[in-house]
Structure 1
Amino acid sequence: MVPAHSLSGPTIPPAVNQPAPVHSLPPPTRHPMTTRSRDGTRKQKSVLSLHTTVSPIPNTHLQALKDPNWNPAMTVEYDALIKNETFKLVPKPPDTNI
């Protein structure tokens, strides 16, 4: 019969309070990419003005036709409606008041 203490293999002494090994890091290297801050160039700040002038909303279609801002917009909108076949112009029924 074999003694029980010989079956478990060699015994390892318990860990002693030893300082953790210190690994030295390699010195930081300079990245080869050139950035604006390294190059000394800066992108100029562009100032954006959000102040706009708006044509007043016309009360009639005749006022809109005279306004240089409304007339092209109405033409573009009308052309898009015709192109997309959104509606069809039909003659007015004789007994209606439009």
Structure 2
Amino acid sequence: MNNETTNSFIVQIEQKQLLLTALWPMRFEQVQQCKSWFAQSAVKAGTLAYGADRVELGLSFANESFTFCYEDYSESFWVTADSAGGAMLLSELAKEFSSLEIR
């Protein structure tokens, strides 16, 4: 497992996902605005869905699909590769997360 410190998350790269640990507490309402986090990056935000305690955002990076997830109950963040090709890009995607400006 690799660890990489980012300006907003500590990123752990697993087999088919990034586990993200926020460096400061984030409110559920703030995470609902996550689509805007990717506006200035190479990651394209897609469909946003959320429920009572969960946010999911479809992402596209280098022609591969990913799903960014946040669960309020556990205060957990993660990104899942939607294909084997996406899993091969997780290190590059982690670098993109390091350049996000999260407010």
Q: TM tier, shorter chain?
A: under 0.3
Instruction: State TM-score, norm by structure 1.
Output: 0.19
Instruction: State TM-score, norm by structure 2.
Output: 0.18
Indicate the structure whose relative CO is greater, using CA pairs within 8 Å and at least 6 residues apart: 2
Q: Which of the pair is proportionally richer in strand?
A: 2
Q: Give 1 or 2 for the bigger CA radius of gyration.
A: 1
